[in-house]
Amino acid sequence: MNKWMPDVRLLVAGEHGLVIEFDPDISPAINRMVQQLAGLLNSSLLPGVIEVVPTYRTVMVYFDPLVITRQELSGFISQMLCEMNPQSSQPTEAKTVYVPVCYGGVLGPDLEYVARYTRLTAAEVIGIHTATPYLVYMLGFTPGFPYLGGLAEQLAVPRQEKPRAKVPAGSVGIGGSQTGLYPVESPGEWWLIGRTPVKAFNPKSSRPFLFSPGDYLQFYTITVEEYFAIRREVAAGTYVPRICQGSESDE
């Protein structure tokens, strides 16, 4: 096994699953290794591999045991792990997606609560929330829902005890020590501080997800007028989000 990764484990997950577990801790460095291995597996086009699912600190591989045995798959993955360089820079395909957000008011009904809880002003909450890019560790819960890392400790707020039955698509919220946005309408227990008019998930598109694991999200504030102007562009299919290669932050 690669000397840089002594704790990697290959775990059985039913008849069709194999889990590669990198570390018990969650960190950007561990997640970069997760994304690196997921990329290698996807590009290798191994016969019998059905799907590769990266998470915070593991990679789940679904495979067809009639095409490739668990032992064969484990051998291929072990070889990949030996060749990986976890100290390399972040993948060149990683990007920063800039997400416009209208904070407060009817679009962010919980902003004032978050400000009171954290003993900050609403303006300070917005300033801190938009100050740094957030690493997309993984997608899940609903299509395109980003699990983000990097929320400032000052903004941590316990989740609501009773989830809302419906959180509007585009809502940006804080729950515990995490922040993120809801790509589709769904139940949710996070405190809603704003909303973006940008679609993070579009099932009609050839590329349905606006961002991928390993990317970064950078929130920035817009006015109510700008929110509705962008929403009209999104509806017309003319809106082009700002996307830059790489990230200004390595967390």
Q: Could you please report the per-residue DSSP string of 107-151?
A: GSTTHHHHHHHHT--HHHHHHHHTSS-EEEEEE-SSTT-EEEE--
Mean pLDDT of 7-19: 91
pLDDT of the residue at 5: 55
For residue 103, give the nearest of 205, 215, 179, 196 by alpha carbon. Answer: 196
Euclidean distance between CA atoms 136 and 3, whole angstroms: 27
% residues pLDDT > 70 (the chain):
92
Q: Looking at residues 57-71, what average pLDDT do you find? A: 95
Return d(Cα 176, Cα 61) in angstroms, integer: 30
Distance between start and end Cα atoms, the chain: 27
Q: List, for residues 191-250, the tens digit of each pLDDT value.
A: 999 999 999 998 888 788 999 888 999 999 999 999 999 999 999 999 999 999 866 544
Is the pLDDT reported for residue 153 higher than 50? yes
Does the pLDDT of residue 111 top 80, yes or no?
yes
Of 7-11, 85-89, 201-205, the least confident: 85-89
**What pTM did the predictor assign?**
0.83
Inform me whether the pLDDT recorded for 179 exceeds 70: yes
Lowest average pLDDT, out of 87-101, 141-155, 169-183, 192-206, goes to: 87-101
> Whole-angstrom Cα distance, residue 17 to residue 220?
40
* Mean residue pLDDT across the chain: 90
Per-residue confidence (pLDDT) for residue 249, from 0 to 100:
46
**Environment class of 95 (CB within 10 Å of its CB; exposed 0-12, middle 13-18, buried 19+):** middle
Contacts of 121 (CB under 8 A, 6+ apart): 115
173 touches 145 (CB < 8 A): no
Q: Would you say residue 89 has pLDDT above 50?
A: no
Average pLDDT over residues 17-35: 89
